[in-house]
């Protein structure tokens, strides 16, 4: 699993930090429960420390996993992708189910 990019996006009307990861193996094992645990971990262990380090306070954090590099905002029918949205409170990720 590789962090492919961090995007700071204010298009939703507030600052969102998007952490985009590439994980080719998810195409073989697309188990949503396993991916949810992975995404929770990435928010807590990668996104929160990054935000603290760079003193960024976004309204939301989005963690995405894709089996391939895709340009932001694009979709590809063959791609396997997972996304979750969080708010950060007291240096912890709180899942925002939409």
Q: What is the pLDDT of residues 51-83, one digit of tens each?
A: 999 999 999 999 999 999 998 988 888 999 999
Sheet holding 81-89, edge to edge: 2-9, 16-22, 60-66, 81-89, 92-95
pTM of the shown model: 0.91
Q: Which of 73, 42, 35, 43 is nearest to 60 (CA)?
A: 43
Residue 29: band (very low, low, confident or very high) from pLDDT cuts 50, 70, 90: confident
């Amino acid at each position: 699993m590789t962090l492919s990019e961090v995007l700071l996006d204010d298009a939703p009307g507030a600052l969102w930090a998007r952490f985009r990861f590439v994980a080719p193996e998810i195409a073989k094992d697309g188990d949503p429960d396993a991916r949810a645990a992975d995404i929770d971990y990435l928010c807590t262990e990668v996104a929160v420390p990054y935000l603290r380090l760079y003193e960024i306070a976004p309204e939301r954090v989005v963690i995405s996993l894709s089996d391939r590099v895709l340009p932001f905002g694009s979709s590809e029918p063959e791609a396997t992708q997972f996304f979750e949205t969080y708010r950060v409170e007291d240096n912890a990720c709180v899942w925002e189910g939409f």
